[in-house]
Amino acid sequence: MNERFETEVAGTRLVLVRGDITTQDVDAVVNAANPQLTPGGGVSGAIHRAGGPELTRAAAAVRRERGPLPPGEAVITPAGNLRARWVVHTVGPVWRGGRHGEAELLARAYRSCLSLATAHELRSIAFPSISTGVYGYPVGEAAPVALGAVRGFLREHPGALDEVRFVLFSADHFAAYRRAWEDLPNPAHGRRFTDHGAPGVQSAPNGTGQAHQAPGDRSGGLP
Ligand code: APR
């Protein structure tokens, strides 16, 4: 399976890729943090290990100044030794069955990161799949929320960023996000786009609002 997909939403490249977020060449990577902004495990542990003591100290300083970071909010620090220059730390919701405002909090976490990035005039940002590890959010439920939140923000802020990248650690996660993108409801048209193009022509450029994608368009499973 091709584990990279690229499309465009209102002038911003939206990329899904399988990989490791700690090696991404973007202005900022997002950390799925805990409220104390300590390294923890999972993606946060990996980001802190790669960023080194400068990153961990910067996160601790923010924690001292502002107190614990509530779920849905985001803060920014320098990235230490990472290739990215900044880390945007956000706290996703802990999954408690889906009826405790988890989706709203998860969407808010993505939007907070994007707002912070644009406020700092960053042009590219990479997200992990927030909350779908230790916090237990099922990826099949989280992916449409994440993609819907990002698409909504980009449509409201055309051209505000060059690229938003989702860096998915496992094949399962990549497949879930890829599927969720195809199935994402399109409120502008009141129906779902599904693959109905001619053979070899992928459709459903969910960000552009066009029902078909001509061969050679940038959207859709580029190598
Ligand atoms: N690159 C990209 N994604 C990664 C990486 C990596 N290097 N390492 C792990 N992941 C993925 C996991 O596979 C999971 O899909 O990140 C996703 C989020 O998982 P967690 O890191 O467990 O984050 P979350 O579910 O939001 O839980 C946050 O975990 O580490 C603690 O301190 C953190 O308490 C906080 C909690």
Question: Does 211 map to a domain?
Answer: yes
Question: Does 222 map to a domain?
Answer: no
Task: Specify the CATH number for the domain of residue 168.
Answer: 3.40.220.10
pLDDT recorded at residue 201: 33
Buried b (16+ CB within 10 A) or exposed e, 95-104: beeeeeebbe
Sheet holding 124-127, edge to edge: 4-9, 12-18, 163-168, 124-127, 28-32, 86-90, 74-78
Q: Which residues line ligand 1 (CB under 6 A)?
A: 20-22, 32, 34, 40-46, 92, 128-135, 167, 169-170, 173
Question: Does 223 map to a domain?
Answer: no
Does residue 151 carry a pLDDT above 50?
yes
pTM over 0.75: yes
Atom of ligand 1 nearest to the CA of 20: 1
- Ligand 1 centre to CA of 132 (Å) is 7
pLDDT recorded at residue 2: 77
Determine the length of the chain: 223
Question: Does 220 map to a domain?
Answer: no
Name the residue of 15, 22, 24, 43 whose CB sits within 8 Å of the most ligand 1 atoms, as the mutation to test its pocket.
43
pLDDT recorded at residue 38: 98
Atom of ligand 1 nearest to the CA of 92: 26
Question: Does 75 map to a domain?
Answer: yes
Q: Are 1 and 60 contacting, i.e. CB atoms less than 8 angstroms apart?
A: no
Q: How many domains does the chain have?
A: 1
- The parent domain of residue 67 ranges over 4-215
Question: Does 121 map to a domain?
Answer: yes
Does residue 206 carry a pLDDT above 70?
no
What are 59-105's pLDDT values in tens digits? 999 999 999 999 999 999 999 999 999 999 999 999 999 999 999 99
Question: Does 221 map to a domain?
Answer: no
Atom of ligand 1 nearest to the CA of 45: 30
